[in-house]
Structures are given as structure tokens and as C-alpha cells.
Amino acid sequence: MTTTTTPTTFPSNRAVSPGISLKLGIALFVGFVCLCLSAVSVEQIFETRLKVLHEALRETQNLARSLALHADGTISTADAVLIGLRDRVATDGTGAKALDQLKMQMRVQAEADPSLHGLFVIDENGRWLANTSAGTSPDVNYADRDFFIHARDHLDNAPFIGAPVRSRTDGSWLLTISRRLSHPDGSFAGVVLASISMDLFQQFYGRFDVGPHGSIALANDDGVLIVRHPYEEANIGLDISHGGFFSTANVMDQAGSVEFKSVLDREVRMASFERVKRYHVVVVVTHQKDDVLAAWRGRSQAALTLLCLVIVLVTALGYHLCSQVDERSKAEAQYRLLAENASDAIICVNSEGERSYVSPSFSAMTGWTPAELAGMRRHDMVFTDDQAAIDDVLGGLDAGDASPTCRYRHFTKGRGLIWVEMRARAAAAKRDGVLDYILNIRDISTQKLAEEELAEANAELSAMTLSDALTGISNRRNFDQTLRREWRRAMRNARPLALLMIDADHFKAYNDRYGHVLGDECLKLIAQLLAAGVRRAGDVVARYGGEEFAAILPDLTAEKAAIVAERMRMSLVEAAIAHDGNTDGIVTVSIGVASLVPGRGLEPRELIALADEALYRAKEDGRNRVVVVEPIREVRTMLAAG
């Protein structure tokens, strides 16, 4: 590549046609600018409005998700106590000695968990056998309560969240969680009941700022309001299923956002909800739309005022420009070109590699003086691996590309390599039959570094949001996403999808005996052994919650999935982790296996319910075993039950 001292010749601009008044052209230009400013400002105002609404929804979505986790954790803690009480009654009966021991256990658990208002064991006639509420009259009968009626009339062992009730001992509002007691022959034997004070939720919800007219509500799937912040006692137990949020949103979805008119205050509200599926309750967080848009309206008015001032200034400037009608168009265009490109390096080079012009900013960028640049060729300045990128850009110009760009690494004097962005365009005319290229070069090293750091941060964030913080395997969020994705794929391909629900046997006893620190280490080891039990890239093992795990096995029938489950179970047995609180003296797991081919009318929750049922049977049959459900019969039973 050779250099010359020939000055750069830029293509001349056409002068304005003498038949068109320059003043008219300026007036049209000013009008066009004002119109564009108005259009851009109005567009930005409405874009800002959408962003404000979007941010408000994102805020309510995040808060609803957090509050749903709080509700799930609070209820599941009480439910875990009920399961223990139910098993204790089923094992020891309700004799005098057994009741004394049961009462002692209930007192210990109530004192250990401040969220529990009371624990009750109620017989089949509605009278309590044991409770933790001091001063409860022996004549109190609970046969009229909805939790008692539900347990009496339903054979399932699922937890039941009742409508809000007033305590018959202290008059406070309570949320009840109950489970059915059954005689050995399966007949109704009573209810185990835990109550949680509404004040626990009210105090927790009161910590969050949802605006002057926002609200936080917890309701069941039937639309009965359990608790609402801000608190009004008249709202407790109110049926809001007709109209408002429940007529707008599909609360059977896991989560969502809607806009609706409240049945309580008739105001338009923006709401996000998160459903706690296993307890059939939904958390709803709302903002009043007028509150969300109040600040936006003020800013919009200020922006419109500023726009009017700018239009006045632009009009005045246009009037001033009309007095400069004798300035030459070409000089004006050349001045604009120089002003717009002053901060970038500009090089004029022809297709034979001869540089006819190099702007001073190129020397400032690279550190080389004009004299040093005179004897340098392109391969002396550009990193070898990036030479082809420049050839492609210049080739694109020859092929008719208007303004191709590329990024490459450029050598400098004393600073090593820098990243630059080059934009090329062809000159309007050839000189001596050779086409000139005008290259606009900008240093983007700082931008490139920021892009790389952002990419690394995004990758780390993505990994964190999909992994369980304790065990390192997939978390519940990744499990839900994977199950939905694999469900759709299996439905498209008419292939089976298997699911394993895995529970560490008597793990509460492990924590009680060895402590939560060793309990966490044990959970990590269990997760590692379970993850090692799958051998295909598409299989996913996730922590489902607490000591419960799940495995998604695409394209496997129940029989083949049972082989994988048995391999997992045996890996725990062979590991022989000491557990004095377990029947076998070591850590074991119970596994429920289900597999089906997704079809019309089925949802992923049916597969989860099947696997949960199998897990329940495995624990009922003695734990440390694998149980496979009969999918066809089970699915038909669930569909028939509605």
C-alpha cells in the first residue's frame, strides 16, 4: 500500500434549484422539524406511559411471587405439623396415654412455631380430643365448621384451607388448615387442625409499599377473600368471585397480570397474581391505575410545555436562517460533514490501497504521526485474523451495499490492540477510473469491554436463577419451565413423559437429631446421588421443595422410568448415610413414578398429581421403595372428579 499527498476531493453537493425559493425551503424544513419533534415527543410520552405501566406490573409480579412463597411456606409449615399429628394418631390411637403424649407433642410444636395460633385433634363427632388453646371449653363443637364438613364428606388426604373463621376462644380471625383422620377401615375418624392468626399476614403485608390506594390480598380459588391489606374487617370472608379480578383473571394459571375494576371500590386496578397450587390459594397484588400514572401525567405536561418552547425557538431560528439566503449550499453541506465527523477518524482510500486523506483524529486514536503512517500498509495496522472482515466490507460496497460496517482489532503505538468500528461508503465519483472509499473509524474499546462484562454477568445471572442455591441442581423454577416445555414436546410427538417425585424419608427427624447444618449437607449429597442416577442429556433432576426432589424423564414409559427410580433409590442405600431416626438406620428415599402420553384435556399438573399419589403410596407402604401408578386408571379418575 502506498501513500500520496494528493488532497482529498469530496463530491460536490447540488445547489438548490433557482426556481425554488430558499426561504420557502427553510420554512418547509422548520415545519417538518417541528412536526418531527412533536411526533417524537408524543411517541416518547406514550412509550413512557407503557414503560411506567410495565414497571408497575413487574413490581406487582415480583411482590406477588414473593408473597406467594411466604404464604406457601407459612401454610406448608403448619401442614407438615398436621401430617405428623395425623400419623401419630394413626399409629398410637386416641387412648388416654396416647392423648397425653399427643398433647405434649402439640404444645412443643406450637411453642416452636410462633405462626401457629392453635392445634386441634377433633373426633368424628366434632368434639376436640386435644388442643393447644388454653381455656377451650370441653363443650365446644366444631361439627358446623367447613373444615369438619369437608373432611367428613371427602375421602382424599389432601390439606384443606377453610374460609376465615373467628376463634371461639379469643374472637380473633383465623386461617385454618386441616387434614382428615380415618379409621383403619377408611371411615371418617375426625380432623387434625392448625390455625394461623390473620394478624400474621396483616403485619407481613403491611411492610410493603403498594401506593396510596394499592392492595395485597390472599383468597382461595373459589373467590373467598381470606385477608386483605389495607385491613377492613368487613372484607374478611367476602365472596369476590363475581366480577372484578376473579371474572377477569384465570386464577387456575400459576401466575398472570390483568387490569380490572375492583368490586370493593370500583376503581380500575392493575393486578398481578401468583397461585399456590397445592393449597388452592392465590395472592393478588394491585396498584390503582390512576396512582401509577399520576407522576407520568405531571412529567408529560412538563414535556409538552418544553416542546412548545422548543417549537417557538426552532421557529425563531428558522426566521433567522431565512435572512442568510446568500450562503452557498455546498459550503453549508461541507461544514455539516466536518462538524458531524470531527470526533471520528476519517480515511479516504481507493480500491488499490492508496490513502489520499487521513484526518488528524486517526493519529490521536493510534498514536502514530502522519509521517509514520505514510510508510505503513494495512496489514501492519490491522490484526491478522480481522483482515477478512475489512475485505468483506469493501466487497460489500462493490456489490452495492450502501454503508457496510465491521468491527476489528487495530494496532496502536504503545497501547497494543484496540477495538474499532469502521463504517465505509463509496465516494460519489471515480477519480481516474478508480473508486474511492471513505472510511469512518471509531474507537469502541470501552464499549466492547462493557459488552463482554454484560454478557458474562447475564450468563452468571441466568445460571443463578435456574439453579437451587443449596444443592446446585435445578430449582423449582427450572423444573416448572422444563416440565411445561417437555409436556408440549411430548404432546406434539405423541411420546410418553415420565415424572419421578422423590422424598427423603423421615428427614425432619434427621434435622432434629443432627441439626440443620448437617441436614443441608445431607440434602446436597442426596441431590448429587439423584443427579448421578440419570444418564441422558434431556433428563432433569430438580429440588422440588424442602427435602422433596423431582426428575423429568422424557420419552420413558413408567416401566423404564421405574428402573431409573430404583437405580436412584439403591444409590442412597449403597451410600449408607447414617440416619438413626429412619427405620433402616440410613438415609433412604421414597419414589413415586408416573408416565403418560399428554393429550387433549390433560395438563402437567395431572402428571404431578399421579406421581404425588405414587409417592404417597410408597410412604404409606413403608418408605424406601419405588411405587408406579397405573396412569390410565388414575387419569380417568382425576378427569371424572372434575
Residues labelled catalytic: 547
Compute the radius of gyration of the chain from its Cα atoms. 36
Kindly report the backbone phi and psi dihedral angles of residue 255, in degrees, each rounded to the nearest multiple of 5, phi listed first.
Answer: -160, 165
Distance from C-alpha of 44 to C-alpha of 22, rounded to nearest angstrom = 32
Report the residue count for the chain. 642
Q: What 3-state DSSP class applies to 236?
A: coil
Distance in angstroms (rounded) separating the CA atoms of residues 614 and 625: 10
Among the listed residues 223, 310, 291, 307, the one whose alpha carbon sits nearest the alpha carbon of residue 52? 291
Give the separation between CA 160 and CA 213, rounded to whole angstroms: 32
Residue 310: HSE in the Cβ half-sphere, 13 Å Cα cutoff:
15
CA atoms 325, 326, 329, 333: torsion sign: negative
d(CA 260, CA 289): 10
Q: How does 416-433 read in b/e, with b if 16+ C-beta sit within 10 Å? A: eebbbbbebebbeeeeee
Cell of 431: 477519480
Q: Give the C-alpha distances (Å, rounded to integers) separating 126 from 103, 119, 142, 173, 214.
A: 18, 14, 5, 20, 41
Q: By the 8 A CB rule, do 358 and 373 touch?
A: yes
Nearest 10 degrees: Cα torsion 533, 537, 538, 543: 50
- Identify which of 157, 146, 142 has the alpha carbon closest to the alpha carbon of residue 83: 157
Left, alpha or beta for 88 (phi > 0: left; psi -120 to 50: alpha)?
Answer: alpha
Q: How many helices (H) does the chain have, and how many strands (E)?
A: 18, 21
Write the secondary structure of 343-397 as one string of H (helix), E (strand) and C (coil).
CCEEEEEECCCCEEEECHHHHHHHCCCHHHHHCCCHHHHECHHHHHHHHHHHHHH
- For residue 351, give the C-alpha cell: 480500491
Pairing between β-strand 188-197 and β-strand 160-161 as defined by DSSP bridges? unpaired
Report d(CA 370, CA 360) in Å as an integer.
8
**Main-chain dihedrals φ then ψ at residue 477, nearest 5 degrees:** -65, -45
Q: Please give the backbone phi and psi of residue 181, each rounded to the nearest 5 degrees, phi first.
A: -100, 140
